Structure 1
Amino acid sequence: MKQFISFVKKEFLHILRDTKTLLILLGMPIALIMIFGFALTTEVKNSKFAVLDFSKDAATEEIINELNASRYFDLVAALHTYQDIEAIFHKGKAKMIIVFPPSFKSDLQHFNTAPVQIIADASDPNVATTLTGYATTIIMDYQKRVTHDRKLPHTINTQVRMLYNPQMKGTYSFVPGVISMILMLVCTMMTAITVVREKETGTMEVLLVSPVQPIKVILAKAVPYLLISIVNIISILLLSVFVLDVPIRGSLILLLSESILFTITCLSFGLLISTLTDSQQMAMFISLTGLFLPTLMLSGFLFPIENMPMVLQVVSNIVPARWYYQIVRAVMIKGLPLITVWKETFILTGMTVFLLMASLKNFKTRLA
């Protein structure tokens, strides 16, 4: 046990002496959660829109003011003809146009109906769909206020309730994914160069002739990074709650335990890469290219897995970040207990055992 502790201390000294590595380990997670937490969002705010108002009455003016007062829209121009619509889209000055026909208020009062045309720039279909949805909601709210005392025939009133995220904040979706991506990249990349560094510096010979078993050597290299990762997990969760306003509705102990399990999975992955490569550059290259894209594309936090081709859905099952992302969403956002994420926990545990065994098997006890 003393020998194992000595190896752990040696690895800690390696990390503490290398200030650049220490800065990456402690600074990168904080920088990434701040950058991605604020940059990655599906919310569309302050979108520029223009109005082509042929009616120019009190009703259209009130609707325009409500659209402009919302956090989603900014009025940039009042158009006069239909030809102005194409021109303003070509210049990129507006993403949406609202067209009011003549006698809008009169038609609404006498016939209980008045058409409104919404024209959106669909070169980005997701933004166009979001903007038209926002505008339609604001206009329908105005209609309800105007006609609430009148009984319209055959009216269907839809009541929508958003669970877990009533304000529809994009950070509720992206923060769990960003956490999984940060832990996956930092933990795997740092541990991937540990064994390779010993080979390049020539100290691997000392390790091989020592009486310490290979499994203890591997574990000794993982323990310091595990402890540093726990510090990163705590700092990421604190930033998520107090800076990004993402609550932890479930058990904090369960969330920390699942995060530590995922961290161990990532460390095991990095150790496996480290035992399979002969240079630090190759280890980092495999860590970045082999894990960043799968984590980003196949974990489910950017693109729904259900919408992917069946082949990619099958491949996503071997991406650890997919299962951790589901756990964080269930525990952190929905407040669910362990019984609801037992399958994901079991899969991560199985991956960890497999990766550790593979690392031990590929650990070479001879340099040649």
Structure 2
Amino acid sequence: MKKFIGFVKKEFFHIYRDKRSLFILFGMPIAQILLFGFAITNEINHVDIAILDQSNDVTTKEIINNIAASKHFNIVDVLQDETAIETVFKKGKIKAVLQFENMFAKNITKEAQANVQILTDATDPNMANTISNYITSILKKQQQDINNGAFTPYQIIPQSRMVYNAELKSVYMFVPGVMTVILMLVSAMMTSISITREKEQGTMEILLVSPLKPYQVIAGKVFPYIFLSVINAMAIVLLSIFVFKVPVNGSLFFLALESVLFIITSLVLGILISTIAATQQTAMMISLMGLMLPTILLSGFIFPISSMPLPLQAISNIIPAKWFIVIVKGIMLKGIGLGFLLKETLILLAMTLIYLGISVKKYKIRLE
């Protein structure tokens, strides 16, 4: 029995000395429960909306103030005419536009009803439906306040219209997100084990004595996978169009260029992981655990980023998938071009250059 107790103590000390085991045992569960707890929510908070008030009377101003006071919405723009609605939706920041009809207050008092149109960006149908329900709830509360003590019941009639996805097909949301997740994980995993494989197989010495410079080795590692990942992207797009009937309202050529840029970003990120990790197993674990969860939870693929705490919103900005999902939805569903997607494109390009620079630097350190 003493031998068994001594053996158990030895195992406890072994785990205590192994910092990676302690991190897996305690660090990862805590990080995951915090991530899931804050990121996974069906509520929406602080969603950016715009107002088009064609009446501009006391009643509409009161409704707008009630909406602004809600934690669910941020009124970030006041539109002057209907022609501005399409532009603000294409920019991607505004998720809904609330349009009041002309002579809103007069129509309530004289005709006992007035109309409000709720236009939502339905590229994310779940979020669009939730936004519509929240605004409708606020309008009903306003209607009850107006009718308090009134002899004739007044009605505020909300009319919802879903922009870019009138039928609220969930596949319009999932196809761009799944395309992003597949390209990110497959591309990163393929390259993450490339340099670690050289170390484990003992062929790193050949690279050490070769005349190739670090950036040439990294480019050589990445180039074959670009071709293979492009084939993956083509297959995903073709399945999206012909099987799931997702439209491509924008330029296929522009979509191809953006996909290649995202593939290169993911491949270089995999190379970065490969230069840091000591073994293929470690590289694979970092690729799966370090990329899969943030890509799914913090990219806006399933859960709205605006509803997350500010620290998670800040972290989401360094996730390449977030920006590529905006690009794919913009091209496929909204039909917009580089003029509206320049910021996202430049961010992906900057990430690629940063990852590449760090990879080259790490590779140099390991050569010494």
| TM-score when normalising by structure 2 | 0.58
CA distance in 2, matches of 1:289, 1:157: 48
- How many angstroms does 1:307 deviate by? 0.3
1:162 CA drift (Å): 1.7
Distance 1:166 1:239 in 2: 22
Equivalence for 1:179: 179
Q: 1:366 to 1:351 in 2, by over 3 A?
A: closer
Q: Does 1:294 align with 2:294?
A: yes
- 1:233 matched residue in structure 2: 233
Which residue is 1:84 aligned to? none
Which residue identity lines up with residue 354 of structure 2 in the other structure?
A: F
**Residue 158 (structure 1) shift:** 3.8
> Which string of whole-angstrom CA distances, capped at 9 and with x for unpartnered residues, describes residues 155-211 of structure 1?
554433221111110010111111111111000011000000011111111111111
Residue by residue over 1:101-142, the C-alpha shift from the partner in whole angstroms, topping out at 9 and shown as x without a partner, is xxxxxxxxxxxxxxxxxxxxxxxxx9xx99xx8xxxxxxxxx
Equivalent residue for 2:317?
A: 317
Cα 1:362/1:244, change in 2 over 3 Å: same
* Cα deviation digits, residues 307-346 of structure 1 (max 9, x gap): 0001100010110100001111111111111110100101
Q: 2:323 and 2:274 mapped to 1: Cα distance?
A: 24
Distance in 2 separating the partners of 1:328 and 1:184: 14
Q: Does the 8 Å CA contact 1:196/1:275 hold for their aligned counterparts? A: yes
Corresponding position: 1:259 with 2:259: yes
Question: Residue type matched to 2:187 in 1?
Answer: C
Instruction: Provide the C-alpha distance between the structure 2 equivalents of 1:154 and 1:197, rounded to a whole number of angstroms.
Output: 73
Q: Structure 1 CA distance, aligned partners of 2:350 and 2:189?
A: 21
> Aligned to 1:160, what secondary structure does the other structure show?
strand
Q: SS of 1:301's equivalent? A: coil
- Spell out, residue by residue over 1:243-292, the C-alpha distance to the aligned partner (whole angstroms, 9 max, x if none): 11111111111111111101100001000000011100000000000000
| CA separation of 1:311 and 1:324: change in aligned 2, threshold 3 A | same
Confirm or deny: 8 A CA contact 1:208 1:365 kept in the other structure.
no
CA distance in 2, matches of 1:282, 1:242: 38
Mark the structure with the bigger radius of gyration.
Answer: 1
Q: Which position in structure 2 is the counterpart of 1:141?
A: none
Letter in 2 for 1:309: P
Distance 1:170 1:213 in 2: 48
Q: Percent identity?
A: 53
Residue 320 of structure 1 aligns with an amino acid whose one-letter code is: P
2:284 is the alignment partner of 1:284: yes
Tell me the amino acid that sits aligned with residue 198 of structure 1.
Answer: E
Task: Show structure 2 runs of 5+ residues with no match.
Answer: 1-41, 43-125, 134-151
CA distance, structure 2, for counterparts of residue 291 and residue 217 of structure 1: 24
RMSD: 2.2
CA distance in 1, matches of 2:192, 2:256: 24
SS in 1 for 2:163: coil
Cα separation, 2, equivalents of 1:178 and 1:332:
14
Q: CA deviation at 1:349?
A: 0.4
Contact 1:214 1:365 survives alignment (8 Å): no
Helix, strand or coil: the match of 2:254? helix
- 2:348 partner letter: L
Distance 1:221 1:187 in 2: 12
Cα deviations across residues 51-87 of structure 1 (Å, max 9, x unaligned)? xxxxxxxxxxxxxxxxxxxxxxxxxxxxxxxxxxxxx
**Aligned twin of 2:333:** 333
Name the residue aligned to 1:268: 268
Which position in structure 2 is the counterpart of 1:197? Answer: 197
Q: Offset at 1:365?
A: 6.6
SS at match of 1:244: coil
Aligned equivalents of 1:319, 1:366: Cα separation in 2: 26
User: Do the aligned residues in 2 keep the contact of 1:208 with 1:366 (CA within 8 Å)?
Assistant: no
2:350 aligned with 1:350: yes
SS at match of 2:162: coil
Other structure's SS at 2:293 match = helix
Distance 1:316 1:155 in 2: 42
Measured after TM superposition, the shift of residue 214 of structure 1 is: 1.4
Q: What's 1:210 paired with?
A: 210
Q: Distance in 1 between matches of 2:223 and 2:366?
A: 24
Alignment match, 1:220: 220
Alignment partner, residue 21 of structure 1: none
User: Counterparts in 2 of 1:1-368, with a 5 A limit?
Assistant: 154=154, 156-364=156-364
The alpha-carbon distance between structure 1 residues 366 and 311, as it changes in their structure 2 partners (threshold 3 A), is: closer
The answer as to whether partners of 1:180 and 1:321 remain within 8 angstroms in 2 is yes
- Give a deviation string over 1:217-254, Cα, whole Å, max 9, x none: 11001001000011011000000111111111111111
How far apart are the structure 2 equivalents of 1:296 and 1:234?
21
Distance 1:273 1:153 in 2: 65
CA distance in 1, matches of 2:268, 2:366: 21
Count of aligned positions: 223
In structure 1, the gaps of 5 or more residues are 1-41, 43-125, 134-151
